[in-house]
Amino acid sequence: MNTLNFDQEGVNSMQAIVLGRSPELLEIELTEIRNDFDSWVNKFFSFTTNQLVQLQSMDLIFKQELAYAIANSYAAGVMVVFSKDDKDDDEVPDKKSIVVHGLDKWQAPLETSSATMIVTPLMIRIHYS
C-alpha cells in the first residue's frame, strides 16, 4: 500500500479503506490500532521527521486513549471527524494544539442494542497557532 499524506485528504482516504474492510479484516485492523498505534499510523501515513518525533513523544496515556477511541469508533462503523489545518512551510517549529472531543465516550465499545441510537462522534482537530 502506498502511504498517504497526513492531511485532511489522507485521513479521509485511510478511513474509507479501514471502514471498507470485511468484518474479519476490520477486526484485525482494530486490534492493531489498540495494540500498536504508532505502527498502525505509520502503515498508512508518510510522516515528516518532526511528525514522527511528535508521535513518539505523545503522552502514552493520551495516545492509548486515542487509539481505543478510534478503534471503538471504527468498530461501530462511525468515521472519526478529523480536521487539520494546513501548515505554512516556514513555520518551524510548528506550534500546534490537538483538540479531541468525545474521547471519554469512546473508551469502551459501543453497545449496539438500538439501531436508532444517536452517537457523539469522536472529533479530532489539529490547529497551528
Question: Rounded distance, CA 59 to CA 99, Å?
Answer: 14
- Determine phi and psi for 120, rounding to 5 degrees: -85, 120
Q: What is the pLDDT of residue 107?
A: 86
Q: Is the pLDDT of residue 1 over 80?
A: no
**Highest mean pLDDT range out of 2-6, 13-17, 87-91?**
13-17
Residue 11's SS3 state is helix
The DSSP 8-state label assigned to residue 123 in this structure reads E
Q: Give me the pLDDT at residue 111, please.
A: 66
Q: Is residue 37 within 8 Å of residue 58, measured between CB atoms?
A: no
Residue 82: predicted pLDDT: 95
**Peptide bond connecting 93 to the previous residue in cis, omega within 30 degrees of 0:** yes
pLDDT in tens, 60-110: 999 999 999 999 999 999 999 999 987 766 556 567 788 999 998 888 887
What percent of the chain stands above pLDDT 70?
A: 88
State the average pLDDT over residues 40-65: 92
45: enclosing H helix or E strand? strand 45-46
